[in-house]
Amino acid sequence: MMLIEETSVPNSALPVDAFKAHLRLGSGFGTDTLQDDVLVGFLRAAMVAIEARTGKALIRSTFEWSLSHWRNPESQTLPVAPVHSITSVRIVDRDGTETLVDLQRFWLERDAQRPVLRPTGAVLPMIPAAGSVVLVIDAGFGVTWDKVPADLQQAVFLLAAHYYEFRDETRLSAGCMPFGVSSLIERYKTVRVGFGAGQ
């Protein structure tokens, strides 16, 4: 299976000024925007890291998710949350022929942690051998930064500030996550229970 973000969050949606305030950067010296590109990069890196750890899309984006088989013919847990809508479902044959599936054949079970796609009938549509199903998913807390929960906003700022402060450090281990950030995102992590959880 493969999840691809089809739309990129525009720079205008990123809280650059709020991040500058968090860093206590000086202003009014004619160089206020000098570091903007650098700050945008650290904000994006922090957002990606937190989205990967939590399975949550912070700012609303469109994702394309392809998989070769349903985990369960009666339901399919979606790989990202919160899901606003499923905008299209198509079946792809082994030769690449695509067939759109009527969205009336599905309904979305909304859940902050594990949204689920369910059939309106008995089972989800059959995926042909060596074929796939491709879902286009609209997910995220909102289209603007102020829709992101306050604790996740703070986690992004803390992690982006960590990246900023240690931007020249080469000894930090891969995947380093400051304790304060880990604490803030803990409740957003998907809980996996039992063998095969998450399928």
Q: Where are the domains of the chain?
A: 7-54+148-188, 61-139
The yes-or-no verdict on residue 195 having pLDDT over 60 is no
* Residue among 14, 103, 20, 107 nearest 61 (CA): 14
pLDDT (0 to 100) of residue 193: 44
Q: Which tens digit of pLDDT belongs to each residue from 20-35? A: 999 987 554 444 566 8
Pick the CATH number of 7-54+148-188 from 3.30.420, 1.10.1760, 1.20.120, 1.10.3230: 1.10.3230
- pLDDT at site 172: 53
pLDDT tens for 101-159 read: 999 999 999 998 999 999 999 999 999 999 999 999 999 999 999 999 999 999 999 99
Q: Considering the entire predicted model, what is its pTM?
A: 0.84
- Lowest mean per-residue pLDDT among 88-102, 159-173, 174-188: 159-173
| Closest to 43 measured CA to CA, from 19, 9, 26 | 19
